[in-house]
Amino acid sequence: MTLKVKQENRGFSRYISYAVLFLLLFIVQNTGASEKQEELLIGIEPEHNIFDQVEKYRLLADYLSRKFDIKIRLTVMSRYGEVLKRFKSRRLDGAFLSSYTATMALKQLNLAPVVSQVNLQNISRCQSYIFVRRDSGIKSVNDMKGKNMVFVDPATTEGYLFPAVLLHKIGITEMNTFFNRYFFAGSHASAIFNVLDGKADIGCAKSTTFNRLTAKDPSMKSELLIVAESQPFPETTLCIRKDLPAELQQKLISVLLAIDASESGREILSKIDMNKFINATESDFDSISSMIDMVAKP
Amino acid sequence: MKRKISITFFCLLLFCAFLYHETAAAAEEILIGVVMTGKTPYYEAMHEAFSDSLRGRTPNGKQIKIIVQRPFPDPIALSNAARKLIAADVDLIVSYGSPATLAVIQEKSGIPLVYAGVYDPESLHIAEPEVTGCGYKVPISSLLRHLRSLKQVSILSVAYSSLEEDSVRQLDEISALAIEQGASLQKINIRSHKDLTNIGPKKVGDALFVTGSAIISELLDPLLLVFREHGQPSVGIFPDVKDSGVIITLYQIPKEQGEKAAEMIYKLMLGWQPNSVKREILRDTELVFNLREAKILGLKPQINLISESTKVIK
C-alpha cells in the first residue's frame, strides 16, 4: 500500500518536472523572440549581371541601415528557386522577389508582400514577351513545333509560367515532344541573347529587360519579333516575414514608401534605376497563383 | 552420253547462277560522290559526321562506297571534280559549300544531289528538282554586336573570297549591317596567298571579319598575323579549329549539318525523290570567345560576352 502511494507520488512529481521544463523552454524561447533584432538579412534574386545588381542593392541597404539602428545585410540567391529554401531555413528576414517566387512564398511561407518597386519609366509591373528572330519564319505557336526554345528559369512568371500556360491552354503539356529542345538560360537578358545568337529559335523574357536592352541597342529590336505577350504582373516586390516585430515592419514600409520624398533618397533611387516604392498587397498575386495551379494540374 | 549432257547442263546452270549472283551483288553497291572545296576544317567536320551517321543507316543488303573530291575552289577545278564523279557513275552526290554545290548543278547530270554547308541556301534560288539539302544561317548582326561590346569599330575590314558564293553573300550582308550601324567597310578579296601581300596598313581597320571561305580558312594564320601586328581583333563564322586566334566565333555546328545530310541521303537510298525531301536551314549556333587572345590584344570583355559564350578559351 505504502509502496503504491510512493509510486503515485513519484509519477506526480515527474509530471511537475515536465511542466516546469516546458515552462522554462517556453520562457527562453519567448525571451529570444522578444530580443531586439540586430540585423535584417534581405535576399535578392539573381539577374543577368549580379555584380551590378549587388552594387545597386548595397546602396539601398546602406541607406536603410542609416535610417534604422540595425544593420541591413544583403544576400544574392544563387538562382530563382532557391529563395523558398532559404526562407524555410529561416536565414532570411525578407527578399526582393519576382512575381513567381513571391506568389510561391506567400503560398508556402509566412510572408507578407509590403512594397513593390517602381522603375524610372514609372512602371511597377512587367509583361512576359515570347519572341523569335524576325527571319525565323515563326509567327504563331503552331510554327514553334520542333524548334528550340529558351526559357529563363522554371521559377519565373515571365520566363516560364506564362509561356507554359499559353501552351497548356492549347493542349500542349509535354514540352519534350513539342519542342526539339528546350533549356533555361538563367536570366532574362541571357534568354534574349540566346535567340539573337541563334542558340534558340524562340525565347521568353520580361518586358522591362527586353525594352531596356532594345532601347540601348535598337538593332536588337529590328531583329526580334514579339509573337505573344501577357497581362502585366508585379515586377519586384519586397516580401518580409510576418513574424518580424510589428514596429520594425511598419518602420521598414514607411521608410521605403517615403524614400522618394527626400533628396538623399531620390539620389539613391536614381543610382539604382528606380523611381519609388508603392504598397503591395496579396491580391496582386492572385492571377499568378491561378496560373501556377493550372500548369500544376495534370 | 545422256549422263554427259546432264553434267554439262548442270554445270551451265551453276555458271549462270554464279553470274547472276555476281551481277546482283554489284547492284547492291551504292556509290556516293562527295565534293568539297579544299581541305576546309568546317566542311571536313561536316563530312566526318555525315560518314559516321551514314555508317549506321545503310539500307539492308546494300553497300555504300564514298568517293571524295577536294578541288581548289576555282570554277574550273570544281567543275572537273563534278565531272569526274559523273563519269564514275555515282548514284548520289553530296556537296559541301555553295561553290561545290553550284558546280555540280551546272553539270546538269540529273543525279540526285544533297548539299550541306551552304550559307543561306534560299538566296541561291535552286530550282532543280533533283537537289535537296541543308544549309545554315548565322546571325551576323549578333556577331557584330558582340564585337562592338568588345571594341568601338568605325572601320570594319572584311576578308572574303570572290571565288566563293557563300563568302560574297556574307560580305553583302555585312555591308548592309555596317551601313545601318554607321561603320565603313574595308573589303579584302582573297583568292590566293598573293592577295595577303596586298594588305597594307590602310586595309587594316579597327577589326577584321572573316567570312566563311575555304580559301581564307587555309590562309587564316598569315591573314590574322597581319591584323595582330596592328593590334586588331578578328571575328568569324567558321570555328577556329587550328586555334589561329580568332577572338569571337559564332558558327553553326557542322556535325548537325553532316548528320542531316546523311539523313537525307538515307531517304534517297530508300527510294524517296529529292523534291519530296524538304530542304532545311539549320540555325543552332555556338559562340566561342577567345579570352586568351583578348588579353594579348589588351581588350576587356563585358561580362555579357563571357556569360553568353558556349565556350571561353582561357
pLDDT tens-place string over residues A262-282? 999 999 999 888 999 999 999
Contacts of B142 in chain A (CB under 8 A): 193, 196-198, 223
By percentage, how much of chain A surpasses pLDDT 90?
51
Say which CATH class B9-137+253-284 falls into: alpha beta
A-B Cβ pairs (cutoff 8 Å, strict): 52
Interchain contact A201–B (C-beta under 8 A): yes
Interchain contact B230–A (C-beta under 8 A): no
Contacts of A196 in chain B (CB under 8 A): 139, 141-142, 145
B140 vs A1, residue with greater confidence: B140
Distance between A149 CA and the closest CA of chain B, angstroms: 11
CB contact under 8 A, A135 and B137: yes
- Structure confidence at residue B24 (pLDDT): 47
Tens digits of per-residue pLDDT, A73-85? 888 776 656 677 7
- C-alpha span between B15 and A198 (Å, rounded): 62
Tens digits of per-residue pLDDT, A18-58? 555 555 444 444 444 445 567 888 888 776 667 777 788 88
Contacts of A221 in chain B (CB under 8 A): none
B39 vs A9, residue with greater confidence: B39
Mean pLDDT of chain B: 90
This prediction has a pTM of 0.78
ipTM of the complex: 0.74
CB contact under 8 A, A193 and B250: no
Is the pLDDT at B101 greater than 60? The verdict is: yes
For A217, the closest chain B residue by CA position comes to B145
Task: Map out the domains of chain B as residue ranges.
Answer: 9-137+253-284, 140-252+286-313
By percentage, how much of chain B surpasses pLDDT 70?
91
Reported confidence tier of residue A90, pLDDT bands at 50, 70, 90: low
Q: Residue type for B47, please?
A: H
Domains of chain A: 36-124+234-293 (3.40.190.10), 128-230 (3.40.190.10)
- Structure confidence at residue A67 (pLDDT): 84
B4 vs A214, residue with greater confidence: A214
User: Homologous superfamily of B140-252+286-313 in CATH?
Assistant: Response regulator (3.40.50.2300)
- Structure confidence at residue A183 (pLDDT): 96
- Structure confidence at residue A167 (pLDDT): 95
Task: Choose, out of A54, A149, A187, A199, the residue to mutate when testing the contact with B (most B CBs < 10 Å).
Answer: A199
Mean pLDDT of B273-299: 95
For B287, the closest chain A residue by CA position comes to A197
Interchain contact A198–B (C-beta under 8 A): yes
Residue A31: Cβ-neighbour burial (10 angstroms; 0-12, 13-18, 19+): exposed
CB contact under 8 A, A133 and B139: yes
- C-alpha span between A155 and B191 (Å, rounded): 53
CB contact under 8 A, A219 and B139: no
Reported confidence tier of residue B309, pLDDT bands at 50, 70, 90: very high
Contacts of A220 in chain B (CB under 8 A): 145
Query: Of A198, A219, A220, which has the smallest distance from its Cβ to B285's Cβ?
Result: A198
